Chains A and B, each alone.
Chain A
Amino acid sequence: MTADPLLLDHWFGKGLTANPDGPALRIGAASWTYRELDRIASAWAAALVEGGRPARVGVLASKSFEAFAGFLAVLYAGAAAVPLGPETPPARNLAVAEAAGIGALICDPAGAPQLPGLLPLLRGAGRVIAPRVDERYRPDNAVPVAEQAAASAPGPAPPPAVVPDAQRSPDDLAYLLFTSGSTGTPKGVPISHRNVCAFLSAITPRYELSPTDVFSQVCEPTFDVSVFETWTCWAAGACLRVLTRLQALDPVRFANNHGVTVWTATPSLVAALQARDLAPPGTLPGIRYTVLAGEPLSVATARYWRRAAPASVVDNLYGPTELTVTCTGYRWPAGEPARWPDSATVPIGEPNTGLDVLLWGGDGRPAEDRGELCVCGPQMFGGYLDPADDHGRFLEHGGRTWYRTGDQVRRDPRDGLVHLGRLDGQVKVRGYRVELAEVERALMRLTGSPASVLLVDRPSGPVLVAFVMAHRPLDLEGARAGLAARLPAYMLPAQLWQVADFPLTASGKVDQRWLVGEAGRLLNSG
């Protein structure tokens, strides 16, 4: 048995060796084999390093060919990928690209309108790869790379590595993702090859996969569950089938039509299917594995999915971006665990191989069965892009450094770790982390008034709503537009209400229970 790779792109190499002429990627009616994807990524990587190797490369793309080939090309170039969302407001992408210090850009047609605005940020040679971008947006010095089909001709030998492995280290960064920050600016999370390879070494043995498997790909590249979808698939030489969010809401059609065997989703997506009964019992017979990640999973939702896909193993995976995709996992037992009520939360289970966990009690000491989940090991990132963000996030204990997740958990002797809730104002919307404080700060800046943002449960899933406290008339429409220009869509409150006063609790804090009740009343009357 050979040792696991220590560079992320070498996991693609495993798939390339196992299934060179099989499909690596399918988007709509288009398809690319492993060999084709490898050739194109190599050509793009060669273009990226010409005139100087960039340290970080922005990939401004949705779930398009450019996103997947681009990410691979950036790694082949010995650089770190910085995914940027075409639907993210330009101001936020600019802030992220500037903080990351990107030296080159790869862009798809969806990202094109934002491309000109990002060009002034590029350092060094400033290469741009945008083969399908309209001339209106494409800079004159864009690299004339071979388009998809042109590079697909079969040839004798694979091209040599663009950047020799000897010039690369597992401690180099593989990618940089940005998450919502409570201070009001997004936090950069740098993930090294060592981190993500440790994740893949821990996660791939959970699944018995082969080149005949087909993975669904639903998550945007800015959300790290996409790292699970893409790289566990490619490590096995399997086929990555990209689905739009609308298509993912119709698994009975799309999973069956495309022969999907490994289905990945956020619990909120499955809960949405459940709310409308869009996946009746037995309608998903071909799914072998279901991986749910990104948010707490309710027992009712897990049961619903099990009935829809009776042949599927169901895994509930947990982890913050800082611990590289997922760091614990729980496998739903084969027999129905009737002892759980529908309203319970599925455990997050045991830590990945190689990781140690510690429950930190409220008294500043390790606790036996309940506390803040702290994790240490090779999947732990090395600190935020801005060291100021490290404050309070790490714990020194027993001669080791631990990452404090901010998640309150208890240890169950039978089921492992069970998630109890957050210790702060962080919530999850469709799997994305949202710091309520970040939205509140943005609202306060726009309106000049105190604001309170909360997550309320609706039949179709949780939604963000916001109250602004002011006696004078407020331009709520203006505030709404202002938010949309600054924050990504998942951070935008669905409703914005003005109130004259926030009732306070006895301890002088804003009465959250009153706000929740008021929000429910307003939503129902609307």
Chain B
Amino acid sequence: MAAPWDQTFETELRRQLPGLSADAELTPQAPLAAYGLDSLATIALIARLEDAYGVRLPDEAIAPEHFRTAATAWTLISRLTAATATGTATVTERGR
């Protein structure tokens, strides 16, 4: 079965998973922390995904629960890209 995400996502996610060997499959439900996604890697991943997809994550999306598995992270990214494509406002909290 093909992965539910695109190649960009797969590449960027794998880049932050030192514990996942290149020939091993990245499954939707596997806990990313087990492959070495710590909080710093999460921040780096967010920055790269934002660049790759041209989206900006709202503050509340920058939370560990969105990066627990490949599936949760992809759900977040695809929701944001869809919202950007249809012009739906993705509310980004702005400082004063």
Contacts of A29 in B (CB 8 A): 59-60, 93
Contacts of A244 in B (CB 8 A): 62-63
A94 touches B (CB below 8 Å)? no
A227 touches B (CB below 8 Å)? no
Contacts of B95 in A (CB 8 A): 256-259
Instruction: Give residues of chain B (1-52) contacting chain A, Cβ–Cβ below 8 Å.
Output: 38-40, 42-44, 46
Contacts of B43 in A (CB 8 A): 246, 249-250, 276, 278
Pick the contact of B59: A245, A247, A259 (CB < 8 A): A247
Judge whether B60 and A28 touch: CB under 8 Å.
Answer: yes
A169 touches B (CB below 8 Å)? no
A254 touches B (CB below 8 Å)? yes
Residue of chain A at shortest CB distance from B50: A253
Q: How far is the CA of A29 from the CA of B46 in the complex (A)?
A: 20
Judge whether B40 and A247 touch: CB under 8 Å.
Answer: no
Contacts of A275 in B (CB 8 A): 40
Contacts of B59 in A (CB 8 A): 28-29, 247, 254, 257
A353 touches B (CB below 8 Å)? no
Pick the contact of A246: B63, B93, B96 (CB < 8 A): B63
Pick the contact of B93: A245, A257, A460 (CB < 8 A): A257
Contacts of B60 in A (CB 8 A): 28-29
A272 touches B (CB below 8 Å)? yes
Residue of chain A at shortest CB distance from B64: A246
Interface 0/1 of A233-273, CB less than 8 Å to B: 00000000000111101100110111100000000000011
Q: How far is the CA of A259 from the CA of B96 in the complex (A)?
A: 7
- Taking beta carbons and an 8 Å cutoff, which residues of B are in contact with A? 38-40, 42-44, 46, 59-60, 62-64, 93-96
List 21 interface pairs A-B (beta carbons < 8 Å), by A numbering. A29-B59, A29-B60, A244-B63, A245-B39, A246-B42, A246-B62, A246-B63, A246-B64, A247-B59, A247-B62, A249-B43, A250-B43, A250-B62, A253-B62, A254-B59, A257-B59, A259-B96, A273-B40, A276-B43, A278-B43, A460-B40
Q: A246-B63, A275-B40, A460-B40 given. 9 additional CB < 8 A pairs? A: A244-B62, A245-B39, A246-B39, A246-B42, A249-B40, A250-B43, A250-B62, A276-B43, A278-B40
**Top 5 closest pairs, chain A to chain B, by CB:** A259-B95, A257-B95, A258-B95, A250-B43, A249-B43
